[in-house]
Every structure is written in C-alpha cells, then in structure tokens.
Amino acid sequence: MDIDGLMLAIGSTLDNVWVQVLLTILAASVAALIAKPIITRLVSRLVSHHKGVKAAEKKKHTDTLVKIFNTAARMLIWSVAILAILNLLKVDVAALMTGAGLLGIIVGFGAQNTVRDLLAGIFIITENQYRVGDIVTMYASGEKIAGVVEDLTIRITRLRDLDGNLHTVRNGSAEVVSNLSYKFANVNVDLNIAHDSDIDQVESLINQVGLDLAAEEAYKEHFSDPIQFLRVDGFDGTAIRIKCLGTVAPAEQWAIAGEFRRRIKKAFDNDGISLPYSHVVVHNGK
C-alpha cells in the first residue's frame, strides 16, 4: 500500500464515530493521568512558600489540597469528555442542558443540605481548619465523633476512630470541631497526692521527671516545653490535686502523658510520696 492509500485508510478510520469516541476516552484518561503529578507539584510548591510552618503541617495541608484538586480536575476533564462524546453521537446537548436545568431547579429545592455541605467544605479547606491526618473531635447532629481524618472532600469528612470504625460526616452537619493535632498540643496531667505529702518535694520530683523525659533521645524531638508543676489545683476529701503541663508535637500528647504518669508513679514510690486511695472502716458494734 502506497503512502496515499495509507493516509486514506487512516482518514477513513478516523472518520468512524466510534473510533472518535474511543480516542476521546483515551485523551481524557491521559489528561487525568498527566494532571495528577502536575497538581501535586504545583500544590507542593505553593505550600512550601509558607514560612514558619513545620514539615508535618505542610505535608497534611499538601495531601488535603492535592486530593481536592485532583478530584476537581478529574470531574472537569470527564465532564468535557462526556459532552464531546454526546456531540459526536449527535445528541442535542443544548436541549439536554435545558432539561437538566429545569430538573436542577426542581431538585434544588430539596438540596439545601447538600449546598450547605459544599459551602462548609469550601470553608474547611480554605481556612485550613483540619487536614487529612489530623485528629479531631466533632459534634454532628448532637452526637460526639472523634478520630483521625482519613478523607476530606468538599462535601464529606471521613473519620477513623480508635475501634477502627469509619464515620462519614457531612461537612454542613458539624456544629463544633476541635482539632487535637494542629501545630502543637499540651500534655495536661492531673495528679492526686495524699494530704500529708510535702508539696515542695512533689513539685521538685515532677519537674525533674519532666526534664528527664524531655531530654531522652526517644522523646526530645517531640517536646517544645517539658512537663512541669503548674499549680495546686484543689482539694477534696482524700487528695490534693496537682496540675502538670507541657507542650509537645501534635498527636504526641497521649503517648507522652502515659509515659510521664508511669515515671512519676515510680518516682513517688521511691521518695515515699503517698497516693490517696479510698478505704472503708468497719466498726464492730460490740
């Protein structure tokens, strides 16, 4: 077959509407694949310009924005591809859009919650309220839900709790959201000691244990301020309440608080500091 015959054969093949449909689908697939690394690079570069933000915070922000923009890009690419395919198949797109518009008006009256979810999602993302990987507590429809943010879209948030349950929450239904892993966290520990304890001795022990913990290789990178004696927080029938406070990296407060309690118990035992306990005295009536 000569060159002219080959060109005619190719032209004839490309004139086939189903070949054009397949090429449109292929082009959309390639565009979606190319868009992902481009979006990732652009978002990473944009977030990297934020000064005074820790690397972990930048990664959370980057992962969240990349997920959102990738989803939006795919929706745009495939929307254009579908319109092009409908045009190739001689479907009256204008009439279809008019019908869709009328249907949209009808559905819109019953879609107020969806609109609210979308607006709430936009504010969550643009205001950086929480990101994928953050630990949050939220009150949604009067119910308390807590967990790690596994997925965040413009409409919904997915949280994985400690039991492994995955909760899907509409963004517009969250009334109060507490981010437990944003920038830094406090280790807030309450200790109860017996009334006959020496407060000065207790303060010295707490401060020393806090300093030793913050200096250890396994923990020092997580500390901003070591755990220290803050105040005598109150009295009750069996104990003096002591409050201790330190500042650590986000999401590290629970593990560090547990290790501090373990060490302070050993320190109290070694120095004879008594911990209060309930006891019952039984009197014999004889």
For range 77-96, the mean pLDDT: 79
More confident residue, 50 or 229: 229
Indicate whether 106 and 125 sit together in one domain.
no
184-218 pLDDT tens trace: 899 999 999 998 899 999 999 999 999 999 999 99
> pLDDT exceeding 70 applies to what percent of the chain?
81
Instruction: Write the DSSP symbol of residue 197.
Output: S
- Residue 117's pLDDT band, with cuts at 50, 70 and 90, is confident
Domain that holds residue 216: 185-271
Task: Please report whether residue 145 resides in a domain.
Answer: yes
The CATH number of residue 12's host domain is 1.10.287.1260
At residue 39, does pLDDT exceed 60? Answer: yes
Number of domains in the chain: 3
C-alpha angle 256/261/262, rounded to 5°? 100
For range 87-112, the mean pLDDT: 62
Task: Please report whether residue 285 resides in a domain.
Answer: no
For range 49-66, the mean pLDDT: 71
And the tokens for 18?
Answer: 């189903």
And the tokens for 277?
Answer: 């306990």
121-140 pLDDT tens trace: 888 888 888 988 899 999 98
Task: Please report whether residue 58 resides in a domain.
Answer: yes
Please give the helix or strand (H or E) that residue 150 lies within, else none: strand 143-152
At residue 280, does pLDDT exceed 70? Answer: no
Indicate whether 88 and 135 sit together in one domain.
no
At residue 235, does pLDDT exceed 80? Answer: yes
Indicate whether 33 and 105 sit together in one domain.
yes
DSSP string, 62-95: HHHHHHHHHHHHHHHHHHHHHHHHHHHTT--HHH
C-alpha angle 278/259/166, rounded to 5°? 95
Task: Please report whether residue 277 resides in a domain.
Answer: no
pTM: 0.65
Task: Please report whether residue 115 resides in a domain.
Answer: no
More confident residue, 222 or 19: 222
Task: Please report whether residue 116 resides in a domain.
Answer: no
- Residue 160's pLDDT band, with cuts at 50, 70 and 90, is very high
- Residue 87's pLDDT band, with cuts at 50, 70 and 90, is confident
Task: Please report whether residue 279 resides in a domain.
Answer: no
More confident residue, 265 or 9: 265
